[in-house]
DNA sequence: TATTGTTATACTCTATAACTATA
DNA sequence: TATAGTTATAGAGTATAACAATA
């Protein structure tokens, strides 16, 4: 699909200040870029990249139940049910009832799931290198900043963030 | 085969490096965070944040046709048709036939669309400040790195990127 | 014949609500 | 009554394919 050489894009006065200056556009481009690349490496895992994220969370086995996991992954709890179902069918994760609250289920990785997760780490590193490759030496810096942002926005620092959002956005 | 509570947490090798170390997870969290915040500010624009991106592209009016625009926005050309339809109904953009190729249409912003776009810039800046707020002084740095990444990944540097992807990913 | 844009159809993904079992 | 998880249904969003106009 060779681009029909449409001569030179006239980016004179307006500069590229409209679209490329849009943070949402940039985030979307990079996000989709990574999803696409990761999908190619994780397509045998039910749910693709997101199924892998459930697996990753199960591997490190934090204390949370499914509801907390859904929030952490930014997906609906009903969707998470199907994801876990499929991962469980392939013996990658397991639902363990919480002794303290029999309604709650902890999602933990099976040995097979842990092995699969470990196995794909190398491929994912490779994907990351390519996705972030354009940054050269600054790739690590970008990664650090992004992680700071994500951990803050996700709820590891829930108080300040949520309050601010609800207050200011309404 | 059952390795119940007897098994150790095994956090030595994995640390808490599973989910938070996942670039895809971090990108998703930040991306959704921005979409959500931007949506609240752009909800009267057909298509929300993405409709606004079409508008932004129409404002700076590059030479490309709808197909190029769809590629730039990472959406299907059929979806773009509906988006433009809705924006055109509200007199925000206009389809202008290309004199050189009568199949092609250029999408340009109307005065009303240009005014609306200008009007929302301040609100979007505010959204960005809040989304990137956790980074403090490093917010500008992150923005710069992200833009470098996006412009590279999107096609301003299409040759190297596309070739690498097709080659290595298959 | 190939390409641009549109339209129609089908599919996937997601959200909403109702249900159970516990608390 | 409220909560955790599941299930069922409906809706939004997306892709696939067929179409008309032009090259």
Please state whether strand C lies within 7 Å of residue B87 at its CB atom: no
Query: What is the average pLDDT value for chain B, to the nearest integer?
Result: 84
Q: How would you class B158 by CB atoms within 10 Å of its CB: exposed for 0-12, middle for 13-18, buried for 19 or more?
A: middle
Q: How many CB atoms lie within 10 A of CB B155?
A: 15
Task: Check residues A62 and A112 and name the one with the higher pLDDT.
Answer: A112
SS3 A37: helix
Predicted pLDDT of residue A153: 82
A20 closest CA partner among B119, B31, B73:
B73
**pLDDT tens digits, one per residue of B60-99:** 988 899 999 999 999 999 999 999 999 999 999 999 999 9
Question: What would the mean pLDDT of A26-53 be, rounded to a whole number?
Answer: 95
Is residue A9 scored above 60 in pLDDT? no
Question: What would the mean pLDDT of B86-114 be, rounded to a whole number?
Answer: 96
Q: CA-CA distance, A31 to A28, in Å (whole number)?
A: 5
Is residue A161 scored above 90 in pLDDT? no
Using CA atoms, how far residue B145 sits from A81, A89, A129, B74, B153, in Å, is 37, 41, 15, 20, 12
Determine, for residues B37 and A146 on separate chains, whether the beta-carbon distance falls below 8 Å: no
A92, two tokens: 């990658």
In chain A, positions 69-128, which contact chain B (CB-CB < 8 Å)? 72-74, 111, 117, 124, 128
Predicted pLDDT of residue A103: 96
Angstrom distance, A13 CA to C15 C1' = 44
B33, two tokens: 């965070």
Q: How many CB atoms lie within 10 A of CB A64?
A: 15
* Residue whose token pair is 């491929």: A123
Predicted pLDDT of residue B155: 60
Q: Where are the beta strands (DSSP E) in chain A?
A: 93-97, 105-109
Determine, for residues B147 and A26 on separate chains, whether the beta-carbon distance falls below 8 Å: yes
Determine, for residues A34 and B22 on separate chains, whether the beta-carbon distance falls below 8 Å: no
Question: What would the mean pLDDT of A2-8 be, rounded to a whole number?
Answer: 37
Is residue A8 scored above 60 in pLDDT? no
Predicted pLDDT of residue B153: 82
Stretch (H or E) spanning B107: strand B105-109
Q: CA-CA distance, A162 to B33, in Å (whole number)?
A: 11
The DSSP output letter for B101 is -
Q: CA-CA distance, B16 to A56, in Å (whole number)?
A: 10
Residue A13: pLDDT band (50, 70, 90) is very low
**pLDDT tens digits, one per residue of B119-168:** 999 999 999 999 999 999 999 999 999 999 999 887 643 333 333 433 33
Residue A40: pLDDT band (50, 70, 90) is very high
SS3 A74: coil
Question: What would the mean pLDDT of B91-118 be, rounded to a whole number?
Answer: 96
Q: CA-CA distance, B62 to B74, in Å (whole number)?
A: 16
B96 φ, ψ to 5°? -115, 120
Nearest nucleotide by C1' position to the A50 CA atom: C13
Determine, for residues A153 and B143 on separate chains, whether the beta-carbon distance falls below 8 Å: no
Using CA atoms, how far residue B88 sits from B70, B83, B92, B93, in Å, is 16, 9, 6, 5
Q: CA-CA distance, A169 to A74, in Å (whole number)?
A: 19
Is residue A168 scored above 70 in pLDDT? no
Is residue B12 scored above 70 in pLDDT? no
| Option in B30, B64, B74 nearest A149 (CB) | B30
CA dihedral A64, A65, A67, A68 (to 10 degrees): 10
The answer to whether the beta carbons of residues A30 and B153 sit under 8 Å apart is yes
Q: CA-CA distance, A34 to A71, in Å (whole number)?
A: 21
Q: Rounded to two decimals, what is the model's pTM?
A: 0.85
CA of A83, closest CA in chain B: separation in Å? 16
* Residue whose token pair is 């990658």: A92
Predicted pLDDT of residue B159: 34
Which of A83-87, A166-170, B16-20, B46-50 shows the lowest per-residue confidence on average (mean pLDDT)? A166-170
Is residue A128 scored above 50 in pLDDT? yes
Task: Check residues B19 and A102 and name the one with the higher pLDDT.
Answer: A102
The DSSP output letter for A152 is I
Predicted pLDDT of residue A17: 66
Task: Check residues A137 and A164 and name the one with the higher pLDDT.
Answer: A137
**pLDDT tens digits, one per residue of A105-127:** 999 999 999 999 999 999 999 99
The DSSP output letter for A133 is G
Is residue B23 scored above 90 in pLDDT? yes
Q: CA-CA distance, B71 to B65, in Å (whole number)?
A: 10
């Amino acid at each position: 699909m060779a681009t029909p050489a449409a001569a030179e894009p006239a980016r004179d006065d307006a500069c590229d200040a409209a679209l490329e200056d849009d943070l949402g556009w940039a985030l979307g481009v990079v996000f989709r870029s990574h999803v696409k690349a990761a999908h190619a490496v994780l397509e045998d895992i039910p749910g693709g990249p997101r199924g892998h994220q459930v697996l990753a969370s199960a591997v490190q086995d934090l204390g949370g139940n499914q509801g907390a996991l859904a929030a952490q992954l930014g997906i609906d709890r009903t969707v998470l049910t199907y994801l876990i179902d499929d991962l469980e069918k392939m013996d990658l994760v397991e639902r363990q009832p919480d002794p303290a609250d029999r309604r709650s289920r902890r999602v933990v990785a099976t040995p097979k799931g842990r092995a699969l997760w470990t196995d794909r780490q190398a491929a994912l590193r490779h994907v990351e290198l390519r996705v972030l490759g354009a940054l050269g030496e600054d790739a690590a810096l970008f990664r650090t900043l992004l992680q700071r942002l994500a951990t803050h926005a996700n709820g590891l620092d829930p108080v300040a963030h949520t309050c601010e959002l609800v207050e200011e956005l309404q």
